[in-house]
Amino acid sequence: MANLNSMKRLFYLAAAISVIFISCDDVTFSPNDPQNSSNWSLQSSGIANNLKGVFFVDSFTGYAVGNSFPNDSAKIIKTVDGGYSWFKKPVTNSNASFNAVFFFNSMQGFVIGTSGTILRTFDGGNSWENLLNPSNTMLTSITFLNTATGLISGYNGTMLRTTNSGTSWQTVTVPASQDLFSVDRSSINEAFACGEGGTILYSNDGGSFWFLQTSPTQYNLNSIYFFDQLTGYACGQNSTILKTTNKGTSWIIQSTPSTFWLSSVKFTSYSSGVAVGEGGTILKTTDAGSNWIAEFSVTSNYLRHLFFINSSNGWAVGENGTIIYTYNGGD
């Protein structure tokens, strides 16, 4: 009888274990599921260069650019599978390091960088044309207000403008001599730029004339981003984050839980935004910037630039070839 009861207990135990394994077989796991309570996962860039800019034209095709160390063949990389794999797009006609990238589509785009370098491609980065421009200073950021009008910011108050889709660029006079680190559009005719010493500039005529706005900080501002025509954010030194809801007429300093430098800020909706920076810092807000929370980061490398193609898919790039990815908006 004892042996019979023991056999029954073994039978029930085996059945229970079978149910557990069958249940587990029904669960599917994404290879990019966040680990260690992080909403971000590392992607392998295959390079050691410091990456400064990233841009995606859709959820699959993207480009990242950086400096020319250790070799020039690794300063532009491309993915066609959402970042699961990246491959080099060598540049043979420029020794410049690159700070930013912009693409109209998967074929036509620009990279900018040191010594006033502007390169253009029409074949997805297989070949690059060196464009002449009137500046030889460090160029930092590029955006287009529409298919014809584009802007490039740079050191020493440099602002370049094109009205023919980037074929030629002209210098625009701005009321500032400080280094400008970022430029962004807020509408088809309006743009903002930010930079050294808390500098904030605004244009309402497509970038031909600029106004100096009143800034509440003297910290360097490394990134500016407008979610709509009225609402914008800037971030920078000492984890400074500024917000405006009136087209920059006034800017308010936001409270943040960090003192690290922030290099890039983006919003995926009116309420949800992310800022990244020094030491792998990732800050997240879900209440339009009223509160920022430090997220667990999968890297300690400096994150230099952030890009979202939609409300879910985003990438950040940084030092030592670092690329991190989120598929849920960083939530």
pLDDT over 60 (residue 16): no
Is the pLDDT confidence value at 101 over 70? yes
- 38: tokens are 């992080």
CA dist., res. 39 & res. 157, Å (int): 37
> Is 176's pLDDT higher than 80?
yes
Which pTM was predicted? 0.88
- Checking if the pLDDT of 69 tops 90, the result is no
- For residue 264, give the DSSP letter: E
pLDDT at 3 over 50: no
**Span 281-306, mean pLDDT?**
97
Q: What is the model's pLDDT at position 74? A: 86
- Tell me the pLDDT of the chain averaged across its residues: 89
pLDDT of residue 10: 41
Neighbouring-strand partners of residue 87 = 78
Task: For residues 273-281, give the mean pLDDT.
Answer: 98
pLDDT at 175 over 70: yes
- pLDDT (0 to 100) of residue 70: 62
Domain map of the chain by residue range? 50-326
Fold of 50-326: Methylamine Dehydrogenase; Chain H (2.130.10)
Whole-number percent of the chain with pLDDT over 70? 88
Cα–Cα dist 184/164, whole Å: 18
**Where is 154: in which H helix or E strand?**
strand 150-154
